[in-house]
Structure 1
Amino acid sequence: MTPFNVLVVDDEAPARTKVKRLLADDSRFVLAGEAVDGTEALARVEALRPDLVVLDVQMPGLTGFEVLEALGPEGCPAVIFSTAYDAFALQAFEAHAVDYLLKPYDAGRFTRALDKAHALLVGGRTEAEAGRLQALLDGLSRASPSRPLERLVVKVGEAWVPLRLDSVWRLSSEDKYVRLYTDQGEHLVRQSLRALEERLDPARFVRVHRGDIVSLEAVARLEPWTHGDGILVLKNGTTVVLSRTWREVFLQRWGMEG
């Protein structure tokens, strides 16, 4: 059987060296490449199409979770997480991850993680696996509700870049994607509007329609429309429907903003 390709992602050179050394002892896998941070990892995944990623969680720049979010669970290879995370995160890993390596780990623990990954890859990844990865992200988000989302990673040309949410004035649902509107342009991210809403700062963002969330700072005025709905005129001149379903919540949040 042809060995499976592995991408190693860690910002620490000794950690990458350790993983490469352990991989060399397992004929079921072959090193496809390595990356020193999250941004490089995104580019390498697209270029190399690895079967498996050994992914560090805590890295400067983009974290391992942001890498996963940018790729989207359906477009992400199988993942073995490498982490020194604390207890609340470990509960989520245990429930939803293929496997995780709690640093420091030994050769035996690494081999057991590869055994799980190999069984998954031989059996063929399924929609259930993508669901497990999304559930992992959702679980970690709910475990730290006091820290609202501050940025998302988006594709600009051929590069991946972090986008701060304070530059976003509207988020709109488009099938399995969300379109982000900013003064610098529009971007698509592979997430649902509902999942993003749970992680946004409620003091800055509010849902105004089944398919739209707006920044409170971006709203210039509210105009009446029909059947209890309204029209929000944003500061850049564009408009968004305010559904009567979300009207009361919007008015409360908008009023608190002055």
Structure 2
Amino acid sequence: MPITVMIIDDEELAIKRIENLLMDMSNINIIGTCKTGTEAIKKIKTLKPELIFLDIQLKDITGFDILEQLPKENIPLTIFTTAFNEFALKAFDFFAFDYLLKPFKDERFYKSVNRAIKTLSQNEEESFSAEINKLLKYIKNPNQQEYRTSIPIKLGNKISFIKSHNVKYIIASGYYSEIHALEKKHVLRESLSKLILELGNNSFIRIHRSTIINIQFVQELISSNYGELDVKMSDNKILRVSKSYKKQFLKKMGV
């Protein structure tokens, strides 16, 4: 059966763009569109879509406000859409399923949709709903978040604990995260989005969609003539800072 979809955006052109991209997908059924948060809440409760495209910054309320007013056990799978970097990064880093930063490319859009379809086909909605609930609690009370001081790594029948302050950087690798600590590299089946939240914001920062670093191990910042920025870590590893994270990173580094 086709996946039921709702599009929520206060710009008509943005809604039409998503509708046109989804038009040729036989496994997608668009059951509604909304331009305000108030309308969206009513329609989601009534129509119960499986997947929603949600603009974070609407004219009346935010996308987070919409999710907060829905039944906690029945929040649709959500792909955030936004033109604002600050909102997009918060959504992605703090447990959002995915986000599309406007103007997004067709290839990026279909990647998000296919990921959503896979999640729904594997019946992982309950896990997503739990993550969204954590996101909403964090936004309301960010200071109440408990941060990890160590990361558990399971290997065979044993679980070892890597001290967070010994982690130099973490790199996404498919469905896994490669944790590069002082002594060696570890592989963990956990997303960067979840790790950056649980590790806290004192020493760790995301510099790329696929990279988290511990600023205590930053050796140098290297700028190119094209406005690109790289980070040289204490082990001489060179890591790229993406444009989306550059401003936030430089502020963190006091530059």
TM range (shorter): 0.5 to 0.7
1:43 is matched with 42
Shift of 1:72: 3.7
| Structure 1 unmatched runs, 5+ | 146-258
Shift of 1:129: 1.5
Moved over 4 A (4+): 142-145
Paired with 2:129 and 2:87, the residues of 1 have a C-alpha distance of: 22
Paired with 1:66 and 1:95, the residues of 2 have a C-alpha distance of: 15
Give the direction of change, closer, same or farther, for the CA distance of 1:33–1:92 in structure 2 (3 Å limit): closer
Partner secondary structure for residue 69 of structure 2: helix
Contact persistence 1:74–1:127 (CA under 8 A): yes
Shift of 1:138: 3.1
1:10 is matched with 9
Partner secondary structure for residue 84 of structure 2: coil
Percentage of pairs with the same residue: 36
2:126 is matched with 127
- The size of the alignment, in residue pairs, is 144
Q: TM-score, normalized by length of structure 1?
A: 0.51
Structure 2 counterpart of 1:133, one-letter code? I
1:110 is matched with 109
Structure of greater Rg: 1
1:27 is matched with 26
Structure 2 counterpart of 1:138, one-letter code? K
Contact persistence 1:93–1:136 (CA under 8 A): no
Shift of 1:95: 4.4
Give the direction of change, closer, same or farther, for the CA distance of 1:131–1:107 in structure 2 (3 Å limit): same
Instruction: Give CA-to-partner distance per residue, 1:65-119, whole Å, 9 cap, x none.
Output: 1100000432211111111233475144134111111111011111011011101
Partner secondary structure for residue 34 of structure 1: strand
Paired with 1:125 and 1:141, the residues of 2 have a C-alpha distance of: 25
Contact persistence 1:32–1:50 (CA under 8 A): yes
Paired with 2:112 and 2:25, the residues of 1 have a C-alpha distance of: 12
Q: TM-score, normalized by length of structure 2?
A: 0.52
| Structure 2 unmatched runs, 5+ | 145-255
